[in-house]
Structure 1
Amino acid sequence: MKKRRRLMVVGLSALALVAAGLFGAGMYFYQVAVVPAPKTFLAKDKPIKQSNPLYPAHKWYQSVSKERWYETSAGQNLRLDANYIPAATKTNKTVLVAHGFMSNKDKMFAYAYMFHKLGYNVLLPDARGHGDSQGKYIGFGWPERLDYDKWIKQVIKRNGNNSQIVMFGVSMGGATTMMVSGTKLPRQVKAFVEDCGYTSANDEIEYQAKQLYHMPVVPRFPLVDIVSGITQVKDGYNFKEASSLNQVKKNHRPMMFIHGSEDQFVPTRMVYPLYHATKGPKELLIVKGAGHAQSYEKNPDLYTQKVSQFLTKYVK
């Protein structure tokens, strides 16, 4: 009896140690993935030199007149911040540009420049927890989808019921764009363009853990699930529900998918199930030789041409 009791105590102690270790690992990965802070695994921004294809866009963005727009987040009453750049000629066409993980509105200058040249008003919000917006966590596009619904309604209120709205995003912003596509939206939303978004937060975090720590296998259960559970308790959402794939299955509006052929951050293979899942008119552009979020920089003329041709069909 005493021996059995000792074995039980030893077993329970071992389980407690394992549980404590897993929780500690979960808290570590939560800090890496969900808390807004400098990330060592992200490439540092480099100065934009005159030889860089993005230089004209950068120079334009520094000097162009911008309006400051504000919104309140869905659910937590966070103050959200955005730059609004009216088109050179008055128009009812507006594009909302969603940035990526630990990026901000100002870093989306190249896309603002592209859409400005295409004749659009451009709205560039900072996601919650990024840039000048309030927030203490990264939502991977899931809570942000409801924030963008509010931005869309603000565009309609300010620019009129005849507004024609396009949603565009890169990386996490691409995932946000796809997540928005699966929500109930006003008729003024005409099309979506997503660039290198992931299939789900679960998939992307699991993939990144393998890449960052050179692990052949990252157990979604229990490790990723523990991080997801911590996020649910602290921030009110979980990685399983943050699924671009599930959201595009509900979409019937036109959507263009763009991905670099050499993307090692959000692997190129993720775009194919997303492309096949959407129910609306669609187009897929794979930019040869482009890494993550580098498709425009790699071939700005092709990128602009394809985006313009796609949107012209649906935004008049």
Structure 2
Amino acid sequence: MKKLLVTLGIVLSYILLVGFFFTNKMMFIKKKTEKEILDQETFDGHYNHEEYEALEKKNVIIPSPHGYDIKGSLIAPYDNGRYMIFCHGVTVSRFNSIKYMNLFLKRGWNVLIYDHRRHGESGGKTTSFGHYEKFDLQAVVNWVRAEYGNDIKLGIHGESMGAVTTLLYAGMIEDGADFYIADCPFDDFEKQLVYRLKVEFRLPGSLVMPIAKTFLKLRDRYSINDVSPIAVVDRIEHPVLFIHSEKDDYIPYESSRLLYEKKMGAKKIFIAEKGTHAMSYTENREEYQKIINEFLEEIGI
């Protein structure tokens, strides 16, 4: 009896340790400070403080359907009905989207950059890697259309978690933008977590995922299985440009290959030769801009 109790105690301790440790790492992933983000973007040549401050910006506050405020910045110098929304990756903020924002400002697009839940100035207690974030993106899209009309041309660009958010949103029934650019998304959250468990902790997914999935469902009220762009990408009616770096060692570029292959209709893919995760533009600037130009021309925008 004593051995049984000891064994049960060990098993219970393992379940609690694994459940709380790994769901904490997901829900409360450590974020970079604003200074860290801006220092990196400045070092990479993407951010110029004087130029950014000189832009005429409108502070935007959009209510999330989950009860907090989504905060962002709108730069709209053009009266041409063209708008881009940018979704940043995990741990950073809207400032990480400035490099992509500048690409489209130069091409005559009005732009909106915003902070995901629990990032930057936006509210929200947890990070869900695209699940709750897709509903926030829906609120942002609805706000832009309510402000500027349903006849505008609207595109969405997402990087990493922002790309996953973009695809999950696009896979919803409304598919509310005219085109999407997904830079380095994973194709399935559980698959990505199993991969990171092996790389970072040298643990097989079978020892962790059943426990982590149950704890996440109880703690953050969503299923890991719901965060799966590959499950919805064939529902996306509008064109998608997939971008990934061949040397990405955080989210393997095969994820974008799989998503591209399953996407129906208009699509394009660019696998950059240089750059690690989320560095396709930084390390391949001319090629990145060229592929965007080609994509927009091919889809008639």
The normalised TM-score by structure 2 is 0.91
Name 2:97's counterpart in structure 1: 108
Structure 1 residues 245 and 49: alpha-carbon distance in aligned structure 2, compared to 1, 3 A threshold: closer
Tell whether 2:56 aligns with 1:65. Answer: yes
How far is 1:103 from its partner? 1.1
Name 2:191's counterpart in structure 1: 203
- Mapped to 1, the partners of 2:231 and 2:54 lie a distance apart of 40
- Mapped to 2, the partners of 1:52 and 1:127 lie a distance apart of 23
Counterpart AA for 1:65: E
Q: Is the Cα–Cα contact under 8 Å of residues 179 and 244 in structure 1 kept in the other structure?
A: yes
Task: State the 4+ residue runs in structure 1 displaced beyond 6 angstroms.
Answer: none
Q: Is the Cα–Cα contact under 8 Å of residues 186 and 229 in structure 2 kept in the other structure?
A: yes
The alignment of Structure 1 onto Structure 2 pairs a total of residues equal to 298
Q: Is the Cα–Cα contact under 8 Å of residues 164 and 315 in structure 1 kept in the other structure?
A: no
Counterpart AA for 2:68: L
The normalised TM-score by structure 1 is 0.87
How far is 1:34 from its partner? 1.6
Larger deviation, residues 198-207 vs 170-179: 198-207
Structure 1 unaligned blocks of 5 or more: 1-5
Name 1:27's counterpart in structure 2: 20
Name 2:137's counterpart in structure 1: 148
- Mapped to 2, the partners of 1:295 and 1:240 lie a distance apart of 28
Determine which of 46, 53, 77 is the counterpart of 1:54: 46
Counterpart AA for 1:69: V
Q: Is the Cα–Cα contact under 8 Å of residues 246 and 272 in structure 2 kept in the other structure?
A: yes
- The alignment's C-alpha RMSD in Å is 2.1
How far is 1:96 from its partner? 0.9
Structure 2 unaligned blocks of 5 or more: none
How far is 1:191 from its partner? 0.7
How do 1:68-147 residues align onto structure 2 when only pairs under 5 Å count?
Answer: 68-74=59-65, 76-86=66-76, 88-147=77-136
Q: Secondary structure at the residue paired with 2:18?
A: helix
Q: Is the Cα–Cα contact under 8 Å of residues 157 and 182 in structure 2 kept in the other structure?
A: yes
Name 1:260's counterpart in structure 2: 245
Determine which of 246, 251, 273 is the counterpart of 1:288: 273
Structure 1 residues 67 and 50: alpha-carbon distance in aligned structure 2, compared to 1, 3 A threshold: closer
How far is 1:50 from its partner? 7.7
How far is 1:194 from its partner? 0.3
Counterpart AA for 1:63: A
Structure 1 residues 116 and 171: alpha-carbon distance in aligned structure 2, compared to 1, 3 A threshold: same
Q: Secondary structure at the residue paired with 1:240?
A: helix
| Identity level (%) | 23
Counterpart AA for 1:92: G
Q: Is the Cα–Cα contact under 8 Å of residues 156 and 179 in structure 2 kept in the other structure?
A: yes
Tell whether 2:301 aligns with 1:313. Answer: no
How far is 1:277 from its partner? 1.1
How far is 1:53 from its partner? 4.2
Structure 1 residues 283 and 184: alpha-carbon distance in aligned structure 2, compared to 1, 3 A threshold: same
- Mapped to 1, the partners of 2:260 and 2:191 lie a distance apart of 16
Q: Secondary structure at the residue paired with 1:211?
A: helix
